[in-house]
Structure 1
Amino acid sequence: MPVIVLEPRDLFSSLSLARMCAILFGCLTFSLVASMEESKLSPLHQMLSFRILCMFTWCLFFALTLLIHVVNVIQFHSLVPISWKNLTVSVAALAALMTLSATLSFPWAVAGHGSVQPCAVAATVSSCLTFAAYVAEAYLIRTQAQDERGYMASVPGLLKVLQLWGGCEMVVLVVEQVQSYLREPVEDTTAMLWVSGTIYVVCLLMSLATVVVVLGDCAGRCPVPFDRLLVCFSLTGVLFYMVATILCFARVLGGRQQGKSPTEEMKMTWAVVVMETVVASITLLAYTVDLAFSFKLLRDRSQA
């Protein structure tokens, strides 16, 4: 079949320019980070894991955005066996959230005992610009005509992306705490941490399954009505995250009541617990609002 390329005016549209900026700044960011001197970075094991997460985020969404841009330019998206309009906004929204997390955590992760590296400052600024480009892309997709944007561009769809982001962040934060507590066991904390980790994994799998069903246009082939499945998932997420948030606050208060002179690693672990509490609260709010939308959708369809 002949290759069809976008017209020049479409190639240089606002949406295409936003994608190209995201590709450019994303490539610049991980290139700057890769050129940093490891000897001047923080020696803590936790910080190494955060740096790996940041690099993975920048590389992954650079590759996905580049692939989306190339497929869109040569007009091969009709051959992709998934919902293209839902895929583009999902990647843009998730990339914006993950890049924001990387931008905020990277300066903390690379904080060493010496002077700040110029590459670290430049990478942080470049990551901020990458985040702005992804936000612009998601906004431009949302402002398209109703028939050109899919379910994931709606408020309930974006809430599911937010839930997916929260689950991804939670798994990483829990893994960091497990590693820390294995080195320095804390009484009555490890059990709560395993309960929280199980909750996050279950909710992450539910969010991932929902997004996969929407991207694959499989809602009509579900063995149960999809709107009822959304209500069930949202209600489960609300209940689970309520428990996880309470456990997070309990661990935060428990960390505050530790010895008068905690070690440097204990301070870092307590900071990670605070981060987990913030992300858990945001994700709980996302599930609560999504539950309201799901109930409204179910009621409207039952009355139709």
Structure 2
Amino acid sequence: MGSNHLDLVMDPTGGHYLNKEAVCSGLGVARMCQLLLGCTTMALVAHGAGFSATYGTYCMFVWCFCFAVTLVIFMLDITRLHGCMPISWDNLTVSFAMLSTLMYVTASVVYPVYFLSTECPSEGCETRDYRIAVTVCSSVCSFAYAAEVFLTRAKPGHVVGYMATLSGLLKVIQAFVACIIFGALANDGEYNGHIPMQYCVVVYSLCFAVTVVVIAMTLSGRTSALRFPFDRFVVVYTFLAALLYLSTAVIWPIFSFDRKYGTSTRPDDCPRGECPWDSKLVVTVFTQVNLVLYFSDLIYSQRIRFVSQSPA
């Protein structure tokens, strides 16, 4: 009986199994910096800086989540295994880089606000020094993720994934801002007392859900197989979302701060971090932010041209 064997031939034109560009390119350097700074930040927190309560847990989640996903992306890029996945790789990586930038920026602000002070804490001055180092590393790492977004963003005349365009990046920011609004509403936003305020919550939820669907459909890489024109759907939805947010930008402040329905000034007996008035103010501010984002998205979407397939 014959035996099966594998014959190997040296071919100078053969392909490479490992992607050296994942390490040697500017994008590779940015990702290695993300991993180094992310690992350093987590080590400093675990060793001496510490974290507690909801805000500290959120910051630690951001650092651990971003590090883990970045590591997976880095390994898949080196081994080229992402080609076996049924997703749009370029859209996925730039979306995650944008999301990580936003998450790191918030963590870099939240952590020092709640854990860093000019005076030494009860744990000692060494703990304060660790917390300063955590803040610095987290802040620098946000620039590393922003650098990836800058390197992979759409350039005029180039065919790229939708998420690499300004419109696609704005979709990620819109969803992130909506999450901040939901967090403020969950922190006793007092919206059940008035039907117009409940309408605003419906608008926030509806726009967030559709935005997430648009992002998910884009990441799937199957938008060209849809039975309706995806580009028209995105533009029409952005137009409607901008109008809906315009209505909430008027309604929410009226029913939150008008003397007929609420108070125009912050109550004196309102504890920090548990004050409904503060939550309403956060919702008001970020409603205006998302309004600007949706209108900017609508304007920019008129300048891009959708194509059914990317070049091989």
Q: Quickly name the TM-score band, shorter chain normalised.
A: 0.7 to 0.9
Query: 1:280 aligned to 2:287?
Result: yes
Which runs of structure 1 show a deviation greater than 6 angstroms over 4 or more consecutive aligned residues?
143-146
CA contact (8 A) 2:94 2:164 kept: yes
- Out of 3, 7, 13, the position equivalent to 2:25 is 13
Query: 1:233 aligned to 2:233?
Result: no
Q: Which residue of 1 aligns with 2:265?
A: 257
Within a 5 Å distance, the mapping from 1:67-106 to structure 2 comes to: 67-106=72-111
The 2-side partners of 1:78 and 1:86 are apart by 13
Gaps of 5+ in 1: 42-47
The 1-side partners of 2:159 and 2:116 are apart by 44
The 2-side partners of 1:165 and 1:26 are apart by 21
Within a 5 Å distance, the mapping from 1:64-213 to structure 2 comes to: 64-110=69-115, 115=120, 117-142=128-153, 149-178=160-189, 188=193, 194-213=198-217
Deviation at 1:100, TM superposition (A): 1.2
CA contact (8 A) 1:26 1:127 kept: yes
The 2-side partners of 1:80 and 1:232 are apart by 30
Deviation at 1:276, TM superposition (A): 2.9
- Out of 62, 71, 81, the position equivalent to 2:67 is 62
- Out of 52, 60, 75, the position equivalent to 2:57 is 52
CA contact (8 A) 2:192 2:198 kept: no
Q: Which moved more, 1:165-174 or 1:269-278?
A: 269-278
The 2-side partners of 1:214 and 1:85 are apart by 10
1:23 aligned partner, one-letter code = L
SS in 1 for 2:187: helix
- Larger Cα-atom Rg: 2
The 1-side partners of 2:71 and 2:144 are apart by 13
2:281 aligned partner, one-letter code = V
2:188 aligned partner, one-letter code = Q
Change in Cα spacing, 1:49 to 1:62, as seen in structure 2 (3 Å) is same
Q: Which residue of 2 aligns with 1:45?
A: none
The 2-side partners of 1:299 and 1:213 are apart by 14
Deviation at 1:50, TM superposition (A): 3.0
CA contact (8 A) 1:21 1:130 kept: yes
Change in Cα spacing, 1:118 to 1:160, as seen in structure 2 (3 Å) is same
Q: Which residue of 1 aligns with 2:248?
A: 244
Q: TM-score, normalising length from structure 1?
A: 0.79
SS in 2 for 1:279: helix
Q: CA RMSD in A?
A: 3.3
Q: Which residue of 1 aligns with 2:37?
A: 25
Q: TM-score, normalising length from structure 2?
A: 0.77
CA contact (8 A) 2:86 2:220 kept: yes
CA contact (8 A) 2:99 2:176 kept: yes
Deviation at 1:216, TM superposition (A): 0.9
Q: Which residue of 2 aligns with 1:4?
A: 17
1:292 aligned partner, one-letter code = I
CA contact (8 A) 2:22 2:77 kept: no
- Out of 266, 287, 290, the position equivalent to 2:297 is 290
CA contact (8 A) 1:29 1:127 kept: yes
1:137 aligned partner, one-letter code = E
- Which structure has the highest helix share of the two? 1
Q: Which residue of 1 aligns with 2:124?
A: none
CA contact (8 A) 1:227 1:294 kept: no
Change in Cα spacing, 1:256 to 1:163, as seen in structure 2 (3 Å) is same
Change in Cα spacing, 1:64 to 1:192, as seen in structure 2 (3 Å) is farther
**Over residues 91-119 of structure 1, what are the superposed CA-to-partner deviations in whole Å (9 max), with x where a residue is unaligned?**
11111122112222222233689745333
Q: Which residue of 1 aligns with 2:4?
A: none
